[in-house]
Chain A
Amino acid sequence: MKEKREGFVVFENVQKTYDGNELVVKNLNLEIFKGEFLTMLGPSGSGKTTCLMMLAGFESSTHGEIRLGSKPIGNIPPHKRGIGMVFQNYALFPHMSVGENLAFPLEVRKIGKSFREEKIKRVLEIVKMTDFINRRPAQLSGGQQQRIALARSLVFEPELVLMDEPLGALDKQLREHMQYEIKHIHEQLGVTVVYVTHDQSEALTMSDRVAVFNEGVVQQLDTPVNIYEKPLNSFVAQFIGENNKLVGTIIKESKGVVQAKLRNSKQIKGIRVNSGKEGTDALFSIRPERVFLDKKNSESIEAQVLELIYLGDHVRCRMKVADNEDFILKIPNSSQTTSLRVGQKTQVSWRVEDCRALDLAN
């Protein structure tokens, strides 16, 4: 970030194992800054939820230290950490009304009744649910329940709020709507948010920074733009968005540009990211929207159309490029697309900067 400062939440060499054999979290080092919206993104079993639970205090780390506001919190029980939390199943108490649910964190903090009501009113205004104070959770829709769960995690004004796949149970449209809503609330309140999801578009939409988890290791920690545009390894490149993959053997490398020979002995160039030495195989990764159906760019290669799928605003074109039969192009819907036919041979091209040479993992 801009200046060197101690993070609000710090994971230092944190490890976690459940069975004593396998590390679920392998040596995690992570700093989260005050007021930041950080998303832990990864496939299930990647260790992201475990990290969240360790931060909340429901799991203990087997090695390393977690600090909150520069204080180690390893020995502080969950209820003294003052961290708000939102769960995927909302965890609204079914036997209490919305108002009682919201009063709960204030009551256990022994906050007076009038002050309590004022805070509840304010937080209900934030989530736009003022009229629902006397309802029971069962009388609310999924989206409304999620708003109340959000309000309940914010009502006692914690400095840190953890969200564990909070939108996972909602349908697509509502989920997208709530993404913006949570983002706006975050901006409005300036609270620090740690958000766990396996949905990459959610992560890209909402976060200041995204930590991509796989196999207990943070693969890349960066802004959404860099995560998408400049993936540091083949896992991140494949997990975030779509990618065209071409495998080639490295011939030579100079000034950060790798040159390689594809299986059909056609040569290809790409920006070196974490590819290996000369003579080893590398994965060249190009985003579908950065490939064009012409010869205008520096890298040009022969391709054959295998399938055309009409998607309204664009046409998805599957092609055979070198030995890859899953080479995808996204052609914007314009007069140009109409001329394309299945079986047709053509040329596709891209800029060298858009082709990234990565490690060949699995």
Chain B
Amino acid sequence: MNNFTEENFSSDGVSLKKKLRRSLFKSKMRAFFLVLPLLAFLAIFFVIPIINLLSQSFLDFRYATLMPGSTQALKDWDGKSFPTEEIAKAMVIDLIQAKKNKTIGKVATRVNRELSGTRSLFTKTARAANKMEAPYMEALIKKDKKWENLKTWQAIKISSMAVTPSYLLAAVDRKYTAEGEIIQQDENRRIHVTLFLRTIEISVIVTLATLLLGYPVAFLMASLPLRTSNLLLILVLLPFWTSLLVRTTAWIAMLQSSGVVNDLLVFLGVTADDARFSLIYNKTGTLIAMTHILLPFMILPIYSVMKTISPSFVMAAKSMGATNWTAFWRVYFPMTIPGVGAGAILVFILAIGYYITPALVGGQDGQMISNIIDFHMRSSLNWNLAAALGLVLLIFILFFFWLYDRFVGIDNMKLG
């Protein structure tokens, strides 16, 4: 090893490692600049808005910024004793200011989310606030009896907290009391847990249905000669060329009570004309349409894995004495697991956030969690709750991803 130094240093005396780093740095920079536009695009239009929106699920500065005085005063209040005159005074000053700035509506909406019926209390009181005189607490109570109620003040205190667990708790049908306890939502307002469970149930059923329907198709495609299998592949991909809306509406034509399927069943005598099946505008409709729409996402990964499996594996198994079933179940099927896993996780994650199809064909009991998120985004305008529901959904998806990684292994996945 007498030429040891010669191997590690090039002729100009710079160490080879340093030179390698230098040359690698150049190519790394080039690669970085190539992806930079997309990276910037994603950061500005995707990552930042998502973070911003998700943060709304636990951040709400509205009350604190619009009603600074009462927020400050309520900070020291214990939530159990009756509020002091000082708090009442701050509240009246805030109300006068809010009325003047025309922001009282926003404040009222915020507090109303914590305790329904407080919206009118705020707007009504604000209108009279500039005529109020000390003692302010009595003046408030005189205007409306609700100011005497401890619950009103507790709701205001919760609204004034900038970092609030209210929305996330509401997303799982819980609420936060001024005493700092977490209790169940009133019975008539508990809907989210049911919806989450139904979303998971529908996603699981759709995943299983696409697997059962897709696996044989993938197998057929993998075993046919290339020309025929390419034709089948086009047929599988054909739905992608049609708009999602068109496909979903087509199912309405197929499944409605005077639709093709029911007509056929009546014609075949399976059911009476006056007892047609309700196949749409309910969970059944959502399941059928989603299974159809998500089927290609199951078939393609399975097919791409099956294509790489040499027929000699099954032949070897049979030559060793395995029946067709044993050869399939013990040899072929385990080798297709990476494709099945990829297809299943793909379909499941797509299904769990599915929106248009349940909205169009879901009716009452076929609605999924994305539909309620949409409702809060567009109708009730409670973006904070929508964000909280979205965050819970994201946590669900990550949980299933973790579960999948645990039992199947994410590196065991093959998307094609």
Question: Which of B33-41, B158-166, B197-205, B320-328 has 4 or more CB atoms under 8 Å from chain A?
Answer: B320-328
Q: Do A105 and B315 have beta carbons less than 8 Å apart?
A: no
Min CB distance A83 to B, Å, is: 6
Beyond the given A105-B322, A152-B316, A162-B319, please list 7 additional residue pairs across the A-B interface where CB-CB is below 8 A.
Answer: A58-B318, A77-B318, A78-B318, A80-B321, A85-B319, A91-B312, A104-B320
| Distance, CA A78 to CA B319, complexed state (A) | 6
In order of increasing CB-CB distance, the 7 nearest A-B pairs are: A105-B320, A91-B316, A85-B319, A91-B312, A87-B312, A78-B318, A95-B334
| CB pairs A–B below 8 angstroms (10 shown) | A57-B318, A79-B318, A79-B321, A79-B322, A83-B319, A84-B320, A85-B315, A104-B317, A104-B322, A105-B322
B266 at the interface (CB under 8 A from A): no
> Using a CB–CB distance below 8 Å, which chain A residues touch chain B?
56-58, 77-85, 87-89, 91, 93-95, 104-105, 108-109, 152-153, 156, 162
CB of A89 within 8 A of CB of B310, answer: yes
A108 near B322 with CB under 8 A, answer: yes
Contacts of B327 in A (CB 8 A): 79
- Which residue of the partner chain B has the closest CB to A81? B319
- In angstroms, Cα B313 to Cα A64, docked, is 28
Q: Closest CB-CB distance, A49 to chain B, in whole Å?
A: 12
Which residues of B lie under 8 Å from residue A91 when comparing CB positions? 310, 312-313, 315-316
Q: Roughly how many angstroms separate A78 CA and B316 CA in the complex, as a whole number?
A: 10
Q: Is B261 an interface residue, CB under 8 A from the partner?
A: no
Q: Which residues of A contact B237 (CB under 8 A)?
A: none
Q: Determine the main DSSP class of A at the interface with B.
A: loop
Interface check B254, CB cutoff 8 A: no
User: Could you tell me if A156 and B321 are in contact, using CB atoms closer than 8 angstroms?
Assistant: yes
Closest to B334 in A: A95
Using known A-B contacts A104-B330, A108-B326, determine if residue A82 contacts B321 with beta carbons closer than 8 Å: yes
Task: Tell me the bound Cα distance from A132 to B365 in angstroms.
Answer: 58
CB distance from A182 to the nearest CB of B (A): 17
Alpha-carbon gap, A41 to B318, bound state (A):
25
Report the minimum CB–CB distance from B91 to chain A (whole Å): 70
* Residues of B close to A83: CB separation below 8 A: 319
Q: A105 contacts which of B312, B313, B321, B323 (Cβ < 8 Å)?
A: B321
Residues of chain A with a CB closer than 8 A to B337's CB: 95
A109: chain B residues at CB < 8 Å are: 321
Closest approach, in angstroms, between the C-beta of B9 and any C-beta of chain A? 36
B335 CB–A CB distance under 8 Å: yes
- Mark out the residues of chain B between 210 and 242 whose CB falls within 8 Å of any chain A CB in the assembled complex: none
Interface hits, B324-371 → A, CB 8 Å? 324, 326-327, 330-331, 334-335, 337
Inter-chain CA distance A104–B321, complex, in Å, is 9
What residues of chain A lie closer than 8 Å to B312, measured between beta carbons? Answer: 87-89, 91
Cα-based distance from A164 to B335 in the complex (angstroms): 23
Distance in angstroms from A147 CB to nearest chain B CB is: 15
Complex Cα spacing A55 to B98, Å: 93
- Cβ-defined contact, B315 with A152, below 8 A: no
- Could you tell me how many residues of chain B have their Cβ less than 8 Å away from some Cβ of chain A? 20
A93 near B322 with CB under 8 A, answer: no
Q: Which residues of chain A are near B334, meaning CB under 8 Å? A: 93, 95
Contacting residues, chain B, for A87 (C-beta < 8 A): 312, 315-316
Whether the Cβ atoms of A108 and B310 lie closer than 8 Å is no
List the B residue with the shortest CB-CB distance to A155: B320
Asked whether B316 lies within 8 Å of A85 as measured between CB atoms, the reply is yes
Nearest Cβ on chain A to B407's Cβ, whole angstroms: 15
Collect the chain B residues with CB atoms within 8 Å of residue A93's CB: 313, 316-317, 331, 334-335
Give the residue name and chain of the A residue nearest to B315 (CB).
Answer: A58
Among A80, A104, A156, the most chain B Cβ lie within 10 Å of the Cβ of A104
Contacts of A152 in B (CB 8 A): 316, 320
A81 and B321 alpha carbons, distance in the complex (Å) = 8
Q: How far is the CA of A82 from the CA of B322 in the complex (A)?
A: 10
User: In whole angstroms, what is the CA distance A246 to B327 when docked?
Assistant: 55
> CB within 8 A of B315: which of A78, A94, A156?
A78
CB closest chain-B residue, reference A80: B321
With most chain A CB atoms within 10 A of its CB, the pick from B321, B322, B326, B337 is B321
Distance from A136 Cβ to chain B, minimum over Cβ atoms (Å): 13
Residues of A within 8 A of B316 (CB): 85, 87, 91, 93, 152
Alpha-carbon distance between A89 and B312 when the two chains are bound, in angstroms: 8
**How far does the alpha carbon of A104 sit from the alpha carbon of B317 in the complex, in Å?**
8
B263-289: which have CB < 8 Å to A? none
Report chain A residues within 8 Å CB of B330. 104
Assess whether B319 is in contact with A84, with CB atoms less than 8 Å apart.
Answer: yes
Q: What's the minimum C-beta distance from A87 to chain B, rounded to whole angstroms?
A: 4
- Which residues of B (165-224) have their CB < 8 Å from a CB of A? none
Output the nearest chain A residue to B311 by Cβ-Cβ distance.
A58
Residue from B310, B319, B331, B335 in contact with A79 in the complex, judged by beta carbons closer than 8 Å: B319
Scoring B310, B319, B326 by chain A CB atoms within 10 A of each residue's CB, the highest score goes to: B319
| Partner of A108 from B313, B320, B335 at Cβ < 8 Å | B320
Q: How far is the CA of A77 from the CA of B321 in the complex (A)?
A: 10
The complex places the Cα of A58 from the Cα of B327 at a distance, in Å, of: 14
User: Which residue of the partner chain B has the closest CB to A84?
Assistant: B319
User: Which A residues touch B335, using CB under 8 A?
Assistant: 93-95
In the complex, how many angstroms separate the beta carbon of B4 from the nearest chain A beta carbon?
32
The winner among A78, A85, A105 for most chain B CB atoms within 10 A is A78
Please, how many angstroms separate the alpha-carbon atoms of A91 and B322 in the complex? 14
Shortest beta-carbon distance from A98 to chain B in Å: 14
- Which residues of chain A come closer than 8 Å to B317, judged between CB atoms? 93, 104
A56: nearest residue on chain B (CB-CB)? B319
> Whole-angstrom distance from the CB of A155 to the nearest CB of chain B?
9
CA distance A109 to B319 in the complex (A): 12
List the B side residues contacting A56 at CB < 8 Å: 315, 319
CB distance from A4 to the nearest CB of B (A): 31
Q: Which residues of B contact A85 (CB under 8 A)?
A: 315-316, 319-320
With both chains docked as a complex, state the minimum distance between the C-beta of A120 and any C-beta of chain B, in angstroms.
13
Complex-state Cα separation, A86 to B6, whole angstroms: 51
Distance in angstroms between the alpha carbons of A93 and B310 in the assembled complex? 11
Given the complex, which residues of A lie within 8 Å of B321, measured CB to CB? 79-80, 82, 105, 108-109, 156
User: In this complex, what residue of B is CB-closest to A93?
Assistant: B331
Residue of A nearest to B323 (CB): A79
Quote the shortest CB–CB distance from B331 to chain A (angstroms): 6
State the CA gap A108–B329 with chains docked (Å): 12
Complex alpha-carbon distance, A316 and B189, angstroms: 96
Which B residue's beta carbon lies closest to that of A94?
B335
Which residue of chain A is the closest to B326 with respect to CB atoms? Answer: A108
Distance of A347 Cα from B323 Cα, bound (Å): 67
Closest to B327 in A: A79
A262 CA to B334 CA in the complex, in Å?
66
